[in-house]
A = this chain, B = another copy of it.
């Protein structure tokens, strides 16, 4: 595993993120609205405050945080069917939106939130690999904005967000662990891992999958090292977005 002989299609070094941009207030109606770009991957993340909770939380005094994910039909190289027209969300879509929801709930104190829901919608406008990690990283910023409106208005007295959260992908590309896979890497790498961590460095999700050959324990360790570094950078960029 030497990074010397790896040539990433983008010319990035193995440990280099794509250019990241985080634009707040991208649309005007949502309480939080963020366009996040991880290179050519662009995801619109909105956070809506709903003054109701799902049935399993009714009367509990606790709130809920949930997420939905979608991809515009031509966000990708070739057009995909529109899920609304097909009449159901794919297994992939459901898997991703469940992941985003769990990630966001991991930094919320639902008691402090009170009986309301923060509903995150992550819609991919353009896809180039890493849409779920961009979605989580952007959704946090949108949720932060939505909560700030509640704090500003006095609807919330104290802050239900206990930490920030961000996500990044890592993988073994041509034998080398690399950070933040873009589509050309993602579609040809051997192992693909998504890591979700909090701003304080706690691990929330580790999802590694051998796409071709199995991976070793050493490779696993190297990938997680890389992800930890990447998330430190993303956490910093999330902070800067609020300046």
Contacts and interface: CB of A to CB of B under 8 A. Distances in A.
Given A27-B126, A84-B88, A68 B73 contact: yes
Nearest to A195: B208
Q: Interface size for chain A: under 10, 10 to 19, 20 to 34, or 35 or more residues?
A: 35 or more
Contacts of A68: 73, 82, 85
Interface in A65-122: 68, 70, 72-79, 82-85, 87-89, 91-95, 97-98, 102, 106, 119, 121
A210 B214 contact: no
A75 B27 contact: yes
A33 B74 contact: yes
Given A27-B74, A205-B209, 12 more contacts: A29-B76, A44-B125, A46-B72, A73-B121, A84-B84, A95-B95, A95-B98, A203-B215, A203-B216, A204-B209, A205-B207, A205-B208
Interface of A: 27-30, 33, 40, 42, 44, 46, 48, 50, 68, 70, 72-79, 82-85, 87-89, 91-95, 97-98, 102, 106, 119, 121, 123, 125-127, 193, 197-198, 200, 202-210, 213-217, 219-221, 224, 228
15 contacts: A27-B125, A30-B79, A68-B85, A70-B84, A82-B84, A84-B89, A84-B93, A87-B87, A102-B209, A125-B125, A203-B210, A203-B214, A205-B208, A220-B224, A221-B221
